[in-house]
Chains A and B, each alone.
Chain A
């Protein structure tokens, strides 16, 4: 259900962007998802396919770029990418004193629209 609300926001932004760019169809949406943001790719695509039916984004592909969180060991300084569940000890020195930052993003990076779209005629959503 988390993904449903998020996907509605993705679709809305994609349609607005396509409209402002004066193009017809949304072909793909590039998303940046932090590994700590708990967003499930398949679930977002599933809702997107349902919600986008009959809109200018119908059939668009969602491309996910996953960004890990970054752990830093306070004892040995080792830095490495992490995703949940977090390992309670540093893989280099086994210290439990770690700091994790980042990996919380959930962004639309860009949207790919059809160059030969509707050419600005009519309502792009009405296709």
Chain B
């Protein structure tokens, strides 16, 4: 006989993600889930963003298959960090994040970045309890990534395109990239940035401050730059 079930397969993970979110909320921590390919610049962008946070205290959870290289890089900047080694798993899940929380001084953190494992596939399926899903693309990966991995771009609350200083080198078509993102996620803000040259980082962090609700002065700036950014890469 057939027994109807109709159940989300990753429901158990989602339950733990909700618990994580409650803990973050109770501690007053806003959380960003940072997802991208290996080498897209997740760690660099976290550091560049943290350096531009006005009066907000950052923290980081580093997810890697193995090693603590990225965590050491973060710690060298005096930012509280905890490393999760997934032991081969290609994504973070909510229980891994939950297990990491006792090792972080949540009361001393305003904005927590969770750097997911470098991968454009699996991280999209696992909620962690974050408030903001940040997906980073990078120019050397090619402008076809949203078309090949639409799932992760569909889940993004904000998209950064990093390594803008290499657009000419790679004959990267930013409009084609943006059209692919908007195909699955019409309203998502897209910022073109370069951690190396600093291009676009002010606009991105202004948007982030606006999202965090920090300061009316920032808000006007963020609205202005968001408009500019949308005009630059939006659909014609």
Measuring CB to CB, which residues of chain A are less than 8 angstroms from any residue of chain B?
1-2, 4-6, 9-10, 12-13, 17-18, 21, 23, 30-31, 36-38, 69, 71, 84-88, 96-101, 104, 106-113, 115
Q: How far is the CB of B94 from chain A (nearest CB, A)?
A: 11
Interface size on B, residues (CB 8 A): 38
CA distance A5 to B86 in the complex (A): 12
Measuring CB to CB, which residues of chain B are less than 8 angstroms from any residue of chain A?
1-13, 88-91, 93, 121-122, 124-126, 144, 146-151, 154, 176, 179-180, 183-184, 186, 235
- Interface SS majority for chain B: mixed
| B5 in contact with A113 (CB, 8 Å) | no
Q: How far is the CB of B47 from chain A (nearest CB, A)?
A: 28
| A2 in contact with B8 (CB, 8 Å) | no
Q: List 12 A-B contacts (CB under 8 A).
A: A2-B91, A5-B126, A6-B10, A9-B9, A13-B7, A84-B149, A84-B150, A84-B151, A107-B8, A110-B4, A111-B2, A112-B3
| B151 in contact with A107 (CB, 8 Å) | no
Contact for A115 among B1, B5, B8, B176, CB less than 8 A: B1
CA distance A3 to B211 in the complex (A): 34
| A98 in contact with B183 (CB, 8 Å) | yes
- Interface SS majority for chain A: mixed
Q: Which of B3, B4, B90 has the most CB of A within 10 A?
A: B3
Q: How far is the CB of B128 from chain A (nearest CB, A)?
A: 14
| B151 in contact with A85 (CB, 8 Å) | no
